Amino acid sequence: MRPLSTSDPVCCSVLSRQSTVFRALATILVVCVPLASCGGGSMADLRSYVAEVKTRPGTPIEDLPPIQPYVVYTYPCDGAIQCVDPFEPFYLEPPRPTDDGGTTVSDNGISPDFDRNREELESYPLDALRMMGTLEKGEQFWAILRDPDTIIHRVQVGNFIGQNNGKITGISEDRIELLEIIPDGRGGWEERHAELALAD
C-alpha cells in the first residue's frame, strides 16, 4: 500500500471533510459558551432579586372602619300625630243607625266560605289568567285557562279562580262568567259580577 500524498485527490477530499467538521464544531462552541454564561448570570440575578423582595418589610394593612350601630327610629304616636295602620282601609263608612236607636255595620248575609280548601288558580289575579278555549265531552263543558307560568288548566262551573273568591257561574265559547265576593268598605261583603274573555 502506498502512502497518501497531499496532492492525491482522495487525500484532499478527506482533509476537506475533516476541515468542515472542525469548523462546525468551532462555530457551535463559539455560540453556546456565551449563551451558557449569560443564562447562568440572568438566573442568578433573578434569584437575587426575589430574595431581596422577600426580605422587604410588609406594608401594614389598615383596620376596617368601625361598624356604626343601627339606630332604630320609632315614629311618635301621640295626640298630635295620629298613627295609621297601613293594612286598614282608608275609609270606613260610619255605622248606620237602626230602628231601635242603635248602630250596626254592613251585614247582608254575604260572606266568603273561609273553611273551604283554596283552589290552585286562586293564587293568581284574575287579569293574569288567559282563557285559551273550551272543551266539550258529552254533557261536560270545560274552559281551558293558562296561568302566568304557561301551565294549562281545565275548569268548569263551580270552580274558583282569581283572588276575590271568584266562583265560575257560567262558561260559553268566548267567556267565563264569575261571581266574586269582595269587601264593601263597611266591614261586610258584597257580590260583584266579573268576566274573563277569550284571549285574542
Q: What is the mean pLDDT of each run of 10 residues along the chain (200 residues)?
A: 49 57 71 57 82 85 89 72 67 57 62 91 94 91 94 95 94 94 84 90
Domains of the chain by residue range: 9-52, 119-197
- For 79, half-sphere exposure in the C-beta direction (CA atoms, 13 angstrom radius) is 0
How many CB atoms sit inside 10 A of residue 26's CB?
10
* Domain 119-197 falls under CATH 3.40.50.720: no
- For 199, half-sphere exposure in the C-beta direction (CA atoms, 13 angstrom radius) is 14
pTM equals 0.48
Q: How far is CA 38 from CA 27, 43, 47, in A?
A: 17, 9, 14
